Structures are given as C-alpha cells and as structure tokens.
Amino acid sequence: MTAVPGDPAGCSQLGAELRTLAARLQDREPTLPDGRERHLVRVLALRLDRAGEACQRFAQDLAAAQQELRRLALDVEAAGLVLDGLAVAEPWGVASAETAQRRRASLPVLQRRSERLGSSAARARGALRRSLDEATAALRAAGAASGPAARRHDQ
C-alpha cells in the first residue's frame, strides 16, 4: 500500500512525545533574569504542542486513508480493474464486450474515489509539514537565543 505510505502508530507516538516535551518546557523555571527566556520557552512549548497535535491528527488521517485505500482496492478488484498506486486501469488481456463495458462504466467512479483519497492524504501531509516547519523555526530560534550571547548572561 505505497500509495498512502506511513506509520500511524509511530506518528501518534511522536506526537505524544512532542506534547510531553512541551508540557515539561512550560513547567521549567527560567535561568535568565529577563523575560526573554520565559517568552521564548512559552513560544517553543506552544509550537511543540501544536506539532504534537498535528502528528496525532495526521496519524488518524493516515490510518483512515490507509483503510479507505484497502476498501478501494477491494472494490477495484471486484470491478475487474487494477489499482496501480492511485491510478485505476483496465487490466491487459482479452475481455468480453460485456466485461469491457462493465469495467469502463466502473473505472471513472473508482478513479474519482482514488483521486479524492490522494487529495485528502496530500492535504493532511501538507498540514503536518506546516506545523513541523513552525516547530523547527521555534527550535532554531531557541538554539540561537541560547548561543554565546545568552551564555554570557549566565556568567
């Protein structure tokens, strides 16, 4: 089932870990005397929590898409057609006129289902990517803020 790749359980677990890390960050006492660190940690925790939530939502969407793909594959097979990735096609070989007509009638309906499935999976991946990009930017900002200039504050 490479048409909708991924591991829903692993994605959900990653989301839980990110959300746990976000909660730990929020409970952490700041080490710098000014409010900069508190604000930075709050923003980082929020981004990590959102990324974790996005991972868990994606895990649900991914599991649903994979289940729909299994149902689609069964329906495609029952119609005498083949599923290649997300493309529904007639198989090679000779078929009776009745079989060919039945296949041609089923093909567009099943192909539209497949396209909706692909679009849905792409939207879910896009939402996850945006959330993870935001978390990455927040981590970079936190790393930059804790660089040499921030360490001089501690001394």
Give the domain ranges of the chain.
Answer: 8-146
Backbone angle region of 68, left / alpha / beta, with phi > 0 → left and psi within -120 to 50 → alpha: alpha
Q: Contact 64/121 with Cβ under 8 angstroms?
A: no
**Coil, strand or helix: which one is 17?**
helix
**pLDDT (tens digit per residue) in 56-110:** 999 999 999 999 999 999 999 999 999 999 999 999 999 999 999 999 999 999 9
Q: What is the rounded distance in angstroms from the CA atom of residue 18 to the CA atom of residue 48?
A: 6
Residue 134 has pLDDT above 70, yes or no: yes
Supply the pTM of this predicted model.
0.81
Residue with tokens 């959300």: 19
**What is the per-residue pLDDT for 2?**
61
Contacts of 90 (CB under 8 A, 6+ apart): 81, 82, 100, 103, 104, 107
